[in-house]
Homo-oligomer: A and B are copies of this chain.
């Protein structure tokens, strides 16, 4: 069985960078945005739409096409969503079966649970996440700390909601992970080196 490392992460905690560095050090595949692109390619649905569906818990639990001829992007149809979920599931399994890899997000810890992934959750305190967003995200440059904080909270709320919808479990609950790493004031490069040795 291939070595699968999944990374759940709070927004601004450096989880994505950690995953990338980990994959580089271990010289294994890295999947993040690639999953969205692959789903879009297989389903012929726009990448932007796929990403939106995978970032948010759907607001409806039944097809809302009944009596309508048009499904607006802001309120996506469940049949399309279900197609995207199914593709995501299949793609994750394909990736996991292809080679050793690091997968960021996508509830991969749960969807690949029968392949026994090593499950990491990355988190940090709010001040540290705000500081990291300010350095990393171009679109955070003109925002106040309060605005960045609100954005972090909104995105994490969406992630939590989506994770619960897909897995039935609480996002960030340490019992769902093998290790939880606090990146407050940490150098992600060093954390990646240490975790690589561990894995």
Q: List A residues at the B interface (Cβ < 8 Å).
A: 121, 123, 125, 172, 174-175, 177-182, 194, 197-198
Number of copies: 2
Which of B172, B174, B182, B198 is close to A182, meaning CB atoms less than 8 Å apart? B174
Contacts of A174 in B (CB 8 A): 121, 123, 172, 174, 180, 182
Contacts of A180 in B (CB 8 A): 174, 179-180
22 contacts between A and B (CB under 8 A): A121-B174, A123-B174, A123-B175, A125-B175, A172-B174, A174-B174, A174-B180, A174-B182, A175-B182, A177-B182, A178-B181, A178-B182, A179-B179, A179-B180, A179-B181, A179-B182, A180-B180, A194-B197, A194-B198, A197-B197, A197-B198, A198-B198
A194 to B118, CA, bound (A): 15
Contacts of A178 in B (CB 8 A): 181-182
Q: Return the 10 tightest CB-CB contacts between A and B, nearest first.
A: A180-B180, A194-B198, A174-B180, A178-B182, A174-B174, A179-B181, A197-B197, A123-B174, A125-B175, A177-B182
